[in-house]
A and B are shown apart, each in its own frame.
Chain A
């Protein structure tokens, strides 16, 4: 079981949090802080597993994380999950994000947290791995997006126009802080 999925940036700002077990909001924030504290002080070339988050889990739980440029993707899992498997899953998830957002960068996650959630929902459901095939995930996400568009129809058009205008006024959105080298070598990655 996956107990929680946390995405935060290099400064510990949460970009997506998904707990599969209930924690009150303040406790959630504490967990994020603690996890960030644990993860951020680690070098990039050490292993991706961490034990000893005191707030979440316990002895049976591990933090498995990956660091992409500005973002940390952290999965808190118990011993029924394969460690290397989860690492692959994170990779699959990030690659899916990359496909859906076309060159994903931190800003995509900042402004489209809801969409990231929808994508994640196709990968993990209720703490269990739902789908690991990237093409399948992308296909389902796109079908749902298409449905949303067709529902929007006439009434959604003005809103889209406005938001386009709003975005135009903000030239400072840099597109170049992308998530970085997604094709990090995964030793265990195999045809999943």
Chain B
């Protein structure tokens, strides 16, 4: 045996190895392709051999050839063979090759599942490592689904080397199999605090990648990251975390406030530029999120800008680049602070480095103002002239146009200047952006009416000198401009000084060398010009000019008739015939000008680019419906004629589209218009359909200064725009002078004195008036355009699927599919792949956390549903495989380790959600921020949380205030609704009684009737106390996130005509329950209610109580003191109340699945009790709804008149009910792990039903 191996390897000595191959390729430089093809033939031979070493060598060479661009996918199966070698050396080669050339559509990948799983569980950590590395490159949705559980187990491997790889690869798994995110997330989160820095860094990395795309789901991790940020010394981790915070702050401004302090410290202290830069970036993000309000951040902005300036001034080009990059972010919100560094940025435009110049250009875009636009563009024009290399010059060109045209030409004060800039830009050689300039010319000429005369003159000169633009064939990009020029001259020909000359220019033989679409425009517009000339000659007695013009057209047009371009040909021959006819008429002295110009009458309005998209689909139009029913394919040929007759019948079945007659249609149209007219949300077309846009509010009152247009405009190719800069300067000076005069006059009239600031200070934006009265015509949109603007979302983004709420508890259906091997190792043959796997049944788990928002729940339910459906399919599939095998009962192996790791996780998740609020409500405490963070992070332990709560109390009232204020409106409404509901409820009850008295039996028996009957509205708010001034209603709820807290929401309603203020809410604490008071407050101090109540207004405040034992109901005595303020007097008043903490208020609605419910009952830990309610005559579903609503239960299952219900207390007691009803008697059998709690809950239920 050994001899054979040695012999094999001696043979192998003469095979080429990788080095030989490389050497060979280098020695065959002339016929490399040929040499490689012989090598590939050799490799094919080698792959056919049994010796795995030979194969591995061949695969290794293939990997090299792949790098050179050769497709090696034909060897995919051999690569799999090498991957499955038992030797690490070969395995590594195989996995490397696989990672280089496998991808999702490589079909052999599905053969690898078992091999990879085997490698993942290999005792040798490097086998596992190599498999993980390989998998990270070619993981497919199937692989991800099948291996997710194995990889998750590896996240807790003993070796950090494996742990970090497993953590990293989870990101790829999530991307391919989004369902795995929620089950795996708790463990991923654990890894954030892994003792090994590498693993920690990997976890941070993964979560940052996830959070970048869906930041809102990761907000709850902020405290943990904050702790990491303040404790970590690893710059990589720090950078990632700081970047992550940058993504989170826009969602939670309070987070930003908390961050500024430590980040500023880091900026001051760190020596690592990379870290400094990221800190600055995140501070910028924070400032952007806080940009409203918060005046005292100017220091932070200054710090950032100052640091960035240092970066930009650095000799290191990299820092310069990054400084500019970050600067552009500040620019968006704090343009002023950046604009002061304009000098620096303009300087960067001269940098030799293109990347830097481009960045500087970007910055310029945001720095322009009416004042400096001309100056900046002038500078850019200089650069255009100097720039070498067309890409940069093109970039400059687009930037100039961008800068000028931004926000609807906001900064342009003088459009003549802009037109001349555009004309100057046409002198650029070899630019690709001719069409861009052309579209700008068109846009400006169409939308700025005042400029048309000037534009037309300029365009005419352009046309006249077209040879300069077209002379060089390489310049063909720029000839697009002629398209615009010709159109403008034609369309607005009434402004032309000498239309005949322009016409002549447009019909030169040279035009025939232009691209077809431009020629077409030439021909068409020549006709327009022709019409203009005719009209101008109309009054003349001497008709020679008109006739000469016709002759000119007739002479020149045949050239175009011969054009190869169909469009040109068609238009030319049309127009030629027309002109010939006109000539005949002219010769008979018929006046034709009127008729000819009628051909081109009417004004064209600009249409918004998205207008077409926004045309709403008319009601009643179903675009998916068949216009004609498609012929069914089964019909044979000879049956077809028949079908024509039989078809008539089905037509009648769809009368809506076909049978509406004209009148009906007209009526409907009328009705729709009427409706739209009355609907304020419709965007209506203004009568003129041209809204007039005014640049500055007071435009009309500003005297328009006439510009003396003696400047020679006719010389193309001369920089003219400069003169405008000068002119503009003069104009502004004049204006200023005039203003001064006026002001002086005024001052003289009044009194001379102060006010000198005005003229000495820098010119402000508003002072600059546009040179022309400019109407910028807005672009037209279709009637009823939909205002939605979400057309730029990418539906294919893989990260969309990862937008998953991570704080929600795991559901049974969400467990990762677990596959297990049979005890005997599976053979490697891929054909049996499917057989060796079988799905373990879904293990029901206890849920220990609670629902947060109803909406989310719904969404998730939907998602779950679809998921479950998918799973069902999968299961079916797998069951099919099992059946063949006879189904191996091998699940227990897996189950044994699964449940215990799952149970512990969700609690911490939910706890941390609540922490976020507490944590965030902490004001930025400079010195002990770290302390606060640790407290926050430790808070999952209830005691720590309650300890931390008082700390945060001082800020909490503020927060609630903000909250209440912002939602005051809503609250009022809600409250009114609630009250109404309550009233209604009372009414309905009576009504209801009657109803059920009469038809009680019927409704029980008739399920449909019962279901349709509307539920009476219910409210949990009960009266707390009331006097002539104020009414208090309250609702008591267990804190969703903290087992020791109860939140009491109290609505205060001002019933009198006076102002209520300085309300103080105080409660006498008992041993068991205490009101949470701000830090430093004594145990008997009251809490200030964070609002005042004007007459008739109500508002809600929340108070948090800590409770130790929840098994007994409690009553707390309290007092509300307040000041009643009238116009003339104010009095102190007080109102006593009793807060009743029922046991129900400690229960929290928690959904439970029937299998988990059954398990819970079977476990035998629960003690039973039961109660009977007599004389309850309400439909069963009302009864259930009542229990659900008032006592926070959820229905697990309902069969006829029997239902099982579940709820959990805030301290985790399970309460299970079995509710049965028969003949007005309801029996409730209940089980709970705390008998006294259960007893009290049942009593309360009993009471609820005795009340109604």
Contact = CB atoms under 8 A, between A and B. Distances in A.
Query: Are the chains A and B members of one assembly?
Result: yes
Interface of A: 1, 14, 16-18, 20, 22, 24-26, 28-29, 42-43, 45-51, 80, 82-85, 87-88, 110-114, 117-118, 121, 125-133, 136, 140, 143-144, 147-148, 151-152, 154-156, 158-159, 162-163, 166-167, 170, 187-192
Given A49-B322, A49-B355, 20 more contacts: A22-B104, A47-B356, A88-B274, A111-B18, A114-B60, A114-B63, A117-B96, A118-B96, A126-B136, A129-B201, A130-B202, A131-B198, A132-B236, A147-B126, A155-B53, A163-B17, A167-B19, A187-B314, A188-B272, A192-B235
B821 interface: no
A45 B352 CA distance: 10
A125 B20 contact: no
Given A82-B278, A111-B22, A158-B10, A128 B236 contact: no
Given A126-B168, A140-B161, A143-B126, A47 B202 contact: no
Contacts of B172: 126
A187 B236 contact: no
A121 B95 CA distance: 11
Contacts of A110: 22, 26
18 contacts: A47-B317, A47-B356, A51-B355, A82-B243, A84-B273, A111-B23, A113-B18, A114-B64, A117-B96, A125-B168, A126-B168, A136-B198, A155-B8, A170-B23, A188-B274, A188-B277, A188-B318, A190-B272
SS of B interface (majority):
helix
A181 B1057 CA distance: 85
A121 B92 CA distance: 11
Counting from the closest, the 7 A-B pairs by CB-CB distance are A126-B136, A84-B274, A190-B272, A47-B317, A188-B273, A22-B103, A46-B353
Interface in B335-370: 352-356, 358
A118 B234 CA distance: 25
Number of chain B interface residues as a range: 35 or more
A190 B271 contact: yes
Nearest to B389: A41
Given A128-B206, A190-B272, A49 B6 contact: no
Contacts of B132: 125
A118 B352 contact: no
A159 B12 contact: yes
B272 A47 contact: no
A87 B273 CA distance: 12
A127 B171 CA distance: 10
Contacts of B169: 125-126
A117 B67 CA distance: 12
Contact of B208 (A51, A80, A84, A162): A80
A122 to B, nearest CB: 9
Given A46-B352, A128-B168, A154-B6, A163 B316 contact: no
B22 A151 contact: no
A47 B320 contact: yes
Contacts of B356: 46-47
B3 to A, nearest CB: 11
Interface stretch (B68-76, B594-602, B1000-1008, B1042-1050): B68-76
A85 B236 contact: yes
A49 B198 contact: no
B75 to A, nearest CB: 13
A148 B20 CA distance: 20
Residue of B70, B202, B274 with highest tally of chain A CB at under 10 A: B274
A179 to B, nearest CB: 18
Contacts of B322: 49, 83-84
Given A114-B93, A151-B89, A17 B67 contact: yes
B274 A46 contact: no
B165 interface: yes
A140 B124 CA distance: 13
Contacts of A151: 87-89
Interface of B: 2, 5-6, 8-10, 12-13, 17-20, 22-23, 26, 53, 60, 63-64, 66-71, 87-89, 92-93, 96, 100, 103-104, 124, 126, 132-133, 136-137, 161, 164-165, 168-169, 171-172, 198, 201-202, 205-206, 208-209, 212, 234-236, 239-240, 243, 270-275, 277-278, 314, 316-322, 352-356, 358
Residue of A47, A80, A112 with highest tally of chain B CB at under 10 A: A47
Nearest to B351: A46
A192 B236 contact: yes
Contacts of B271: 190
A187 B316 contact: yes
A148 B206 CA distance: 31
A190 B238 CA distance: 13
Contacts of B353: 42-43, 46-47
B137 A29 contact: no
Nearest to A173: B23
Contacts of A166: 19-20, 23
Nearest to A162: B13
Contacts of A155: 5-6, 8-9, 53
A88 B67 CA distance: 25
Contacts of B275: 190
Contact of A16 (B12, B67, B274): B67
A73 to B, nearest CB: 15
Contact of A25 (B17, B66, B274): B66
Contacts of B277: 82-84, 188
Contacts of A87: 274, 318
Contacts of B236: 85, 129, 132, 192
A128 B168 CA distance: 7
A121 to B, nearest CB: 5
A143 B88 CA distance: 12
B740 to A, nearest CB: 48
A136 B160 CA distance: 11
A129 B66 contact: no
Contacts of B240: 82
Given A114-B63, A118-B96, A190-B272, A126 B164 contact: no
A29 B69 contact: yes
Contacts of B71: 24-25
A113 to B, nearest CB: 6
Nearest to B270: A190
Residue of A50, A155, A191 with highest tally of chain B CB at under 10 A: A155
A95 to B, nearest CB: 16
B69 A113 contact: no
Contacts of A131: 164, 198
Given A48-B318, A132-B236, A136-B198, A80 B89 contact: no
Given A130-B164, A133-B198, A190-B274, A45 B133 contact: no
B243 A83 contact: no
A191 B132 CA distance: 28
A133 B201 CA distance: 11
B890 to A, nearest CB: 32
A148 B272 contact: no
Contact of A144 (B13, B88, B104): B88
A166 B64 CA distance: 20
Nearest to B70: A25
A190 B274 CA distance: 9
A126 B132 CA distance: 9
Residue of A18, A84, A151 with highest tally of chain B CB at under 10 A: A84
A113 B62 CA distance: 12
A31 to B, nearest CB: 11
Contacts of B274: 82-85, 87-88, 188, 190
B802 to A, nearest CB: 14
Given A51-B358, A113-B64, A117-B96, A82 B239 contact: yes
A48 B320 CA distance: 11
A151 B93 CA distance: 14
